[in-house]
Chain A
Amino acid sequence: MVSRPFVSKADFENVFKEYFNPLVNFVNKYLHNIENSKEVVQITFVKIWHNREQIEIKTSVNAYLYQIAKNSMIDFIRKNKHNLAHAELNIMQIEQLSDDNASALDPYIVRQAIEKALAPLKPKSREIFELNKFEGLSYEEIAEYLEISKRSVEDNISKVLKHLKEELKNHPYFFD
Chain B
Amino acid sequence: MWINIKGTSNKSKVGKLSKFDSILKQNKEIKNFVVSDVDSEWNSFLDMVGESTEVKKVETKPKSKIKSLIYTLSIGIAATLVLLLVFTLALQPETKIRESYTASKNNDIIQLADGSKIFLQNGASIEYPKVLSEANERKIVLNGSAKFDVTKSILPFRVYNNGIIVEVLGTEFSITQENQKVIVENHSGSVQILEAKTEIISEF
Contact = CB atoms under 8 A, between A and B. Distances in A.
A134 interface: yes
Contacts of A150: none
Given A45-B45, A49-B49, A134 B20 contact: no
A79 B39 CA distance: 28
B95 to A, nearest CB: 33
Interface stretch (B21-29, B64-72, B96-104): B21-29
Nearest to A116: B35
B20 A174 contact: yes
A28 B45 contact: no
Interface residues of B, number: 28
Given A35-B172, A35-B187, A175 B34 contact: no
B61 interface: no
Interface residues of A, number: 37
B198 interface: no
Contacts of B51: 9
A21 B172 contact: no
B56 interface: no
A58 to B, nearest CB: 25
A46 B30 contact: no
A154 B78 CA distance: 58
* Interface of chain B: mostly helix, strand, loop or mixed: helix
Interface in A79-119: 107-108, 110-112, 114-115
Interface in A11-28: 13, 16-17, 20-21, 24-25, 28
Looking at B23, B36, B51, B188, the one whose CB has the most chain A CB atoms below 10 A away is: B23
A44 to B, nearest CB: 10
* Interface of chain A: mostly helix, strand, loop or mixed: helix
Given A136-B28, A173-B23, A174-B20, A24 B36 contact: yes
Contacts of A135: 31
Given A134-B28, A175-B19, A42 B48 contact: yes
B33 A42 contact: no
Nearest to B38: A17
A24 B30 contact: no
A133 B28 contact: yes
A38 interface: yes
B16 interface: yes
Contact of B30 (A9, A17, A134, A174): A134
A174 B38 contact: no
B87 interface: no
Contacts of B2: none
A42 B30 contact: no
Nearest to B188: A35
Contacts of B134: none
Interface of B: 16-17, 19-20, 23-24, 26-31, 33-36, 38-39, 41-42, 44-45, 48-49, 51, 172, 187-188
14 contacts: A17-B38, A17-B39, A20-B42, A24-B36, A25-B33, A49-B49, A50-B49, A107-B30, A111-B33, A112-B33, A133-B24, A133-B28, A134-B30, A176-B19
